[in-house]
Amino acid sequence: MTAPSPLIFEAAVTRPLSVVFRAGEAWEGHDYTVEVVAARPGLDGFDVVVDFRDLEAALDRRLAPLQGKLLSDLDLDGPLALARRLLADLAPFVPAPAHLKELALTDGRGRRLAVRG
C-alpha cells in the first residue's frame, strides 16, 4: 500500500505596481496588484510554505525599478511579458521543495492576468 501524497499548501504575497505601456496607438497607465503564489507539499519545520518576509523582500526588489516606468523602455511589450519576467526573476528566491506556482497582475477593474510556474 502506498502512502498518500502530502497535501499541497500555498502562500501568497501582494504588492502594488504602476506602469505604462502602449496599446495600439494609445498609451495606457495601469495600477496593478501583483500577487505571487508559492506552493509546496506539506509545510516546513516552522509550519509555513515559505518565509513571507523573504518573498516580500524579493518582490519589492523586483518591483521598485519598474514603478512608473514605460514597459517598452524595459524591453517589455505589455502586461503578459511583465508577468512572465517577474515570474522568472522571482522563481530562484523560492527555496525547494517550495516553488513559485503563479504570478498574477490584477488591474483596477478586477481584470486578472496570471502566469504559472
Domain annotation covers residue 111: yes
What is the per-residue pLDDT across 4-53, written as a single tens digit (0 to 9) for each? 568 999 999 999 999 998 777 888 889 999 999 999 999 888 888 999 89
| Residue 51 buriedness (CB in 10 A; 0-12 / 13-18 / 19+) | middle
Q: What is the pLDDT of residue 23?
A: 74
**Which domain covers residue 94, as residue numbers?**
8-116
Domain annotation covers residue 3: no
Per DSSP, the three-state class of 10 is: strand
Domain annotation covers residue 55: yes
Question: What CATH number has the domain bearing residue 75?
Answer: 3.30.479.10
Q: Is the pLDDT of residue 113 over 70?
A: yes
Poorest-confidence range of 24-28, 42-46, 81-85, 101-105?
A: 24-28
Q: DSSP label at 70?
A: B
Domain annotation covers residue 2: no
Domain annotation covers residue 23: yes
Domain annotation covers residue 69: yes
Query: d(Cα 70, Cα 19) in Å, to the nearest integer?
Result: 6
pLDDT band at 62 (very low <50, low <70, confident <90, very high): very high
Domain annotation covers residue 66: yes
Predicted TM-score (pTM) of the model is 0.88
Domain annotation covers residue 1: no
Q: DSSP label at 78?
A: S
Q: Which amino acid is at 4?
A: P
Per the structure, the count of domains in the chain is 1
